[in-house]
């Protein structure tokens, strides 16, 4: 399966996803779209640490739903290490990391419109 989350947007769009970043953060929320190399997620929760440090909270999100505390976030695609649908519980099978080099991403390429 293709690990580039942007190429899997049809699968992710509007669904609750779990995203792990290089900055040791985990986000749980609805995937909206990609814009200028940023993943836009809405109605999400933010956890400190990767999936392996948040298994109990991720299990609770699967069983009872996540608690949205952030309305919208822009995550640079280059910072995403892993992304999957929450219902697939990817932290249980040690899903492979997203390999940026295989699709030619360069960190820090995203820009914001002012």
CA-CA-CA-CA dihedral for 65, 67, 73, 77, to nearest 10: -40
- Please, what are the domains in the chain? 9-91 (2.30.30.100)
Residue 100 confidence (pLDDT): 52
Contact 18, 52 (CB under 8 A): no
Residue 15 confidence (pLDDT): 97
Residue 114 confidence (pLDDT): 36
Contact 43, 30 (CB under 8 A): yes
Query: What is the pTM (predicted TM-score) of this model?
Result: 0.80
Radius of gyration of the chain (CA): 13
């Amino acid at each position: 399966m293709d690990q580039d989350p942007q190429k899997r947007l049809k699968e992710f769009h509007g669904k609750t996803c779990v995203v792990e970043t290089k900055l040791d953060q985990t986000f749980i929320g609805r995937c909206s779209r990609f814009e200028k190399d940023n993943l836009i997620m809405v109605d999400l929760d933010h956890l400190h640490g990767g999936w392996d440090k948040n298994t109990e909270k991720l299990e609770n999100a699967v069983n009872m739903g996540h608690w949205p505390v952030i309305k919208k976030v822009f995550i640079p695609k280059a910072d995403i290490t892993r992304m999957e649908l929450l219902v697939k519980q990817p932290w249980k099978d040690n899903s492979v990391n997203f390999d940026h080099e295989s699709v030619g991403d360069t960190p820090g390429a995203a820009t914001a419109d002012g």
